[in-house]
């Protein structure tokens, strides 16, 4: 008969297959999402700087349009000023004719002097109006020259815009279908990832110059920043028992097995 010692027999700690599989699924889903998002990035890189160039040209044209509207408004104001002064001159000349008639009927020198002062004043007014009209016409000519220069610049920008838009539209037409399919696939993969991991993925991806948040270990180094990974850490990565990030760049690290599995899932995803 065996003696009871009162001590419980120790059992080995076993990590459940379900837990291991859960981590493996997370890593696979993250890498699959990265594959799809990288494909989208590749399409957008193909477009290069064209969208920005188109936007800059559109902004330039909008700026020229504003300048043209301002100059046209100033020219309209100058023309109104000229018209008003011409009308004043016409009115003054009519008044001068009246004064000339009145001079013939004056009865004393005081009335004569008063009328002459009015005539002199009206003539000075007309001289001033004529001077201001000449100045306004000079301004108008300068505005016309400025307007012509800006319209020429706008025309050149419009030609550049039409060319760049044509190039962009051609590239978009070639890639739009593929990009749309990839965007839909990306959304489906995102739904398979826990929100907290997805947020971390997006944050790392946005901060990475190449858009990579999940990378494979290559030649004992991080596939993102190329920093060396210690052997024990590489073993942990291959075990798929926990999420492991690069100590230097923060990217998620996976091994070839996860990479191959994720690429196969992406390939078969409809």
Q: 48-176 has which CATH code?
A: 1.10.287.1490
- Pairing label, strands 252-254, 221-222: unpaired
Helix (H) or strand (E) holding 14: none
Q: For the chain, what percent of residues have pLDDT higher than 90?
A: 56
Tokens read off for 125: 């007014």
Greatest C-alpha distance within the chain: 161
229: which DSSP letter?
A: -
Query: Quick check: 157 pLDDT over 90?
Result: yes
Residues 192, 213: Cα–Cα separation, whole Å: 17
How do residues 44-90 score in pLDDT, each as one tens digit?
887 778 888 999 999 999 999 999 999 999 999 999 999 999 999 99
Query: Quick check: 17 pLDDT over 70?
Result: no
Residues 19, 28: Cα–Cα separation, whole Å: 14
pLDDT at 104: 80
Delimit the domains of the chain by residue range: 15-47+194-270, 48-176
pLDDT at 21: 54
User: Whose CA is closest to 130, among 171, 86, 191, 90?
Assistant: 86
């Amino acid at each position: 008969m065996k003696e009871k010692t009162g001590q419980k027999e120790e059992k080995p700690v076993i990590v459940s297959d379900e837990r291991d599989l859960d981590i493996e699924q997370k890593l696979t889903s993250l890498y699959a999402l990265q594959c799809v998002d990288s494909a989208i990035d590749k399409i957008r890189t193909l477009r290069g700087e064209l969208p920005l160039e188109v936007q800059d040209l559109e902004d330039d044209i909008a700026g020229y349009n504003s300048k043209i509207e301002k100059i046209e408004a100033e020219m309209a104001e100058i023309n109104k000023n000229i018209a008003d002064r011409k009308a004043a001159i016409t009115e003054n000349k009519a008044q001068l004719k009246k004064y000339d008639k009145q001079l013939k009927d004056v009865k004393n020198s005081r009335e004569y002097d008063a009328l002459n002062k009015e005539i002199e004043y009206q003539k000075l007014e007309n001289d001033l109006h004529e001077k201001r009209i000449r100045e306004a016409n000079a301004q108008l000519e300068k505005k016309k020259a400025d307007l012509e220069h800006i319209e020429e610049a706008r025309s050149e920008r419009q030609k550049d815009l039409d060319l760049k838009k044509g190039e962009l539209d051609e590239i978009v037409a070639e890639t739009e279908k593929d990009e749309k399919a990839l965007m839909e696939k990306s959304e489906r993969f995102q739904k398979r990832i826990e929100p907290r991991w997805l947020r971390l993925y997006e944050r790392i991806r946005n901060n990475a110059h190449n858009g990579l948040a999940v990378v494979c270990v290559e030649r004992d180094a991080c596939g993102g920043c190329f920093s060396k990974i210690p052997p024990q850490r590489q073993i942990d990565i291959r075990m798929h028992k926990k999420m492991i990030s690069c100590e230097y760049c923060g990217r998620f690290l996976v091994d070839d097995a996860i990479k191959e599995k994720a690429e196969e899932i992406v390939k078969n995803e409809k």
